[in-house]
Structure 1
Amino acid sequence: MKTLIAALALCATAALAPAHASADLAAKKNCMACHATDKKLVGPSFKDVAAKYAGQKDMAAKLAEKIQKGGVGAWGQIPMPANAVSADEAKQLAAWVLTVK
């Protein structure tokens, strides 16, 4: 019985790890200096970004590019600077942002 409970706990942890890991990555890469999960700071909340781009084809790739290169205009005239993240980190962050509810 203890083995079954331990195995279920391990599976649950593994299922939650990608979202948690991305939130941790967002904090590590200073995304949280300008963004929050559920409220506007300097930039839009991750929840608002996910809602605006829900269901749009190739949006994860477009967001990953914007994370790496920065941009201006999609959310007003305050520019988002380029971020020091790898292409893989940018993809992971973009995929996570699009899941925030």
Structure 2
Amino acid sequence: MKPLLITTLTAVLAAAGAAHAASSDDAMLTLASHSGCMACHHVDPGAKGPDGLPPVGPSWRDVAAKYRGQKDAEGNLTTTVLKGSNPYDSHWKGKASGLAMPPNKVAISEGDAKKLVHWILALGPN
């Protein structure tokens, strides 16, 4: 009887975790859409931008892979979201057609930017 209870409990917890993750994904995608992020970025790599070029900004799974495990990645990326990036430091050649990210402080609060960046960095490979 105990193995069945443990198996059932494990299945219930896994389903609850998956439901929470999906809810979090929905909330973050809604935040990103309302903040204008989805105009330039996609979650998954391989999406096309205008005229069949790469998208304006890198995919968030590519961002997660590039910065995973880097110290201060969350803080640095939050600053980039809020203040923008330098077009001379572009390091997404071939993956993005935009040269720089504009400042977004008028579109998203610092707290929401932190939440979104945290979610992006937690994305796994596609």
* Aligned-pair CA distance for 1:93: 1.0
The partner residue of 1:89 within 108, 112, 117 is 112
> Unaligned stretches of 5+ in structure 1?
1-7
Rg (Cα) greater in structure: 2
Q: Which residue in 1 is equivalent to 2:3?
A: none
Identity among equivalent pairs (%)? 41
TM-score, normalised relative to structure 1? 0.78
| 2:40 is aligned with 1:29 | no
Q: Which residue in 2 is equivalent to 1:48?
A: 62
| 2:82 is aligned with 1:68 | yes
Please give the alpha-carbon distance, in whole angstroms, between the structure 1 residues aligned to 2:113 and 2:101. Answer: 14
Q: Which letter does structure 1 place at the counterpart of 2:112?
A: E
> Unaligned stretches of 5+ in structure 2?
1-11, 46-53
User: Which runs of 4 or more aligned residues in structure 1 lie more than 3 Å from their structure 2 counterparts after TM superposition?
Assistant: 11-16
Please give the alpha-carbon distance, in whole angstroms, between the structure 2 residues aligned to 1:14 and 1:47. Answer: 20
Secondary structure of residue in 2 paired with 1:23: helix
Secondary structure of residue in 2 paired with 1:91: helix
Query: Which one is further off, 70-79 or 31-40?
Result: 70-79
Q: Could you give the per-residue CA deviations for residues 44-98 of structure 1, whole angstroms, max 9, x where no partner exists? A: 1101000000111121111111111110324357110011211101101100111
Q: Which residue in 2 is equivalent to 1:98?
A: 121
Secondary structure of residue in 1 paired with 2:44: coil
How large is the Cα RMSD of the aligned pairs? Answer: 2.2
Secondary structure of residue in 2 paired with 1:35: coil
Please give the alpha-carbon distance, in whole angstroms, between the structure 1 residues aligned to 2:77 and 2:58. Answer: 13
Secondary structure of residue in 2 paired with 1:41: coil
Q: Please list, as runs of the form range in 1=range in 2, the aligned pairs for 1:9-28 lying within 5 A after superposition.
A: 11-12=16-17, 13-28=19-34
